[in-house]
Structure 1
Amino acid sequence: MKPDNLETSLEPLLNYFSRLIPLNKEEKELVTALFHPRLYRKRQYALQEGDVCTQMLFVVRGCLRMYKIDEGGNTHILQFAAENYWINDLGSFHTEKPSALNIDALEDTVVLQISHSNLITLYTEAPKFHRIFRVLVENSYVSLQKRLLQNISSTAEERYHSFLELYPHLVNRLSQTQIASYLGITPEFLSRLRNKLSKQKS
């Protein structure tokens, strides 16, 4: 589904790019031509395991999650993406191989998405974007390294504090089960942890 107002939907993305590197009129027109709005309803998939990831998504409004379900049926959340965040399975997107991950909407979510072929067109016609997306990928890689290090060397409490720093705008929009899945702990343990921290503040 497409949102009704295309121009309004594009403004957050144009502002996002302009904060990194100012865009001229032609570059803004190129973004308008190559990015397309899409509405994902709550619980609707943007990507399912076994499918090729064909789009890179920029969230205008709402929240998506990327996750893996293991053989035991447990959900492991790798990433949340709310307003002004990007999300996709980068490996599947660039290799055009089936993804092992899922992406779905936790709320009704409006995104601006670009296909792999359109992204190459963007790089070719406006090389400035090659630099922008290189920075995005580098930042994602740094975040991934930090997350992996935390998972093997940090306590659950330290991981929770890191979550609060990274996603302060999502604390009241996510369920306890979703936050626990991201942290790699049970909802019951998260509840005890929150109670402990609440008592420390009082």
Structure 2
Amino acid sequence: MFDLLLSHIQNKVDLPEEQSNQIQTFFTYKKLRKKQYLLQEGEICKCLSFVSKGLLKSYTSDEKGNEHINMFAFEGWWTSDFNSFINQEKAVLNIDAVEETEVLMITLDDYERLMLEIPVMDRYFRILYQNSLVTKDYRLMVSNSFTAEEKYMQFALRNPEIIKKVPHNLIASYLGLAPETVSRIRKKWSLNT
């Protein structure tokens, strides 16, 4: 259950063997059914979660009940409503399982303690946050500058696993496009490949 997390950490920082076992003590395991919430808007986000199996989506809902997907979290990805987690304020995001999912969760107190007791984890999380900022900047640029087809093509090229695994209506929500637009682009794209 911890193999993927430890591998993910080792890919970013040099983690001594003895600290691998210690890290596991900071986390709790949770299994989610398809469509089960990990977090609902208005709750306090109590944990930062690492996806060890499955797929989550984080999103907001508008007054009509339409979902606006903020991100997908696949195996090996972290997710939370980070503002809610760090500041212990009410969450603005919902996070639920697109499919049966398993997560490893760490509370804010344990997160802080982890970085104090195993200093290399501070560097690990800094690397993650830097990568996240780069990704969010790129997503904002694509959202503001690209046509619908360019948005889909860039997304598909950067995330081929998502294209194969996620229903097109969820991809449309993530890209800020109508499902019909994504269907049309997918059809056109499949004819050209």
Compute the TM-score of the two structures, normalised by the length of structure 1.
Answer: 0.92
Matches within 5 A, 1:26-41: 26-41=18-33
Aligned to 2:155: 163
* CA RMSD, 1 decimal: 1.1
Asked if the contact 2:53/2:101 (under 8 Å) is kept, the reply is: yes
CA displacement at 1:194 relative to structure 2? 1.1
Q: Matched residues in 2 for 1:172 and 1:196: separation?
A: 16
Corresponding residue pairs, total = 193
CA displacement at 1:13 relative to structure 2? 0.7
Aligned to 1:136: 128
Secondary structure at 2:45's aligned position in 1?
A: coil
CA displacement at 1:179 relative to structure 2? 1.0
Q: Could you give the per-residue CA deviations for residues 48-98 of structure 1, whole angstroms, max 9, x where no partner exists?
A: 000111111111110000001012322110100111111111111101000
- 1:89 and 2:81 correspond: yes
Compute the TM-score of the two structures, normalised by the length of structure 2.
Answer: 0.96
Q: Matched residues in 2 for 1:53 and 1:108: separation?
A: 21
Aligned to 1:151: 143
Q: Matched residues in 2 for 1:140 and 1:55: separation?
A: 18
Which one-letter code corresponds to 2:105 in the other structure? Q
Q: Matched residues in 1 for 2:9 and 2:158: separation?
A: 21
Aligned to 2:116: 124
Secondary structure at 1:12's aligned position in 2?
A: helix
Aligned to 1:106: 98
% of aligned pairs identical?
39
Asked if the contact 1:67/1:79 (under 8 Å) is kept, the reply is: yes
Question: Which structure 1 segments of 5+ residues have no match?
Answer: 1-8
Asked if the contact 1:30/1:122 (under 8 Å) is kept, the reply is: no
Secondary structure at 1:37's aligned position in 2?
A: strand
